[in-house]
Structure 1
Amino acid sequence: MTGKNIKTASLTELRAMKERGEISSPSRDAPQIDLPDNFWDNAKVVEPKGKKSVHLRLDADVFDFFNRQGKGHISRMQAVLRSYVDAHSSK
């Protein structure tokens, strides 16, 4: 998706568009779940630990793999690194 296709709208505008039938509700095939009343009782706010700027040398093919997927390639690399750390950390 290119920047030309991106549009912004307020919540009020989105609701009006939905009422006019310009946008649809989620698919009927989408799963519907009922959450128990106490679902959020044990929820915790997760505070980001902060970011550190680094210079990182990568193999060209590794970088190209993520870069070919388009915008957000650095975030995807971060997600892969995060999942590796989480999988290898004792909790």
Structure 2
Amino acid sequence: MKHKLDPKRPTQPTAAQRKRLQAVADKPDADIDYRDIPALSPEFWAAHRPVRSEPKAQVTLRIDREVLDYFKSGGTGYQTRINDVLRSFVAAHNDAHR
């Protein structure tokens, strides 16, 4: 049997599925076993850029030279990589404050 997902009308999880999802959400990160998940290589990230729908703000930002040199050493797209790192930081800290 094939199932087709309609993103405009997602199916709602059952009570059992919600309970299981909540149990996973409540688990501390330190208790999660990541051994069966392969590490993502730089080649993966070079080929898979996230798509953003919101416009970015242009700013002037002072960054330590060694930090800037590190990101620039990865070639074009260094500003996007810096943004991705900052986005990850914000997400991690937003989760920690909830």
Work out which of the two has the higher radius of gyration on C-alpha atoms and give 1 or 2. Answer: 1
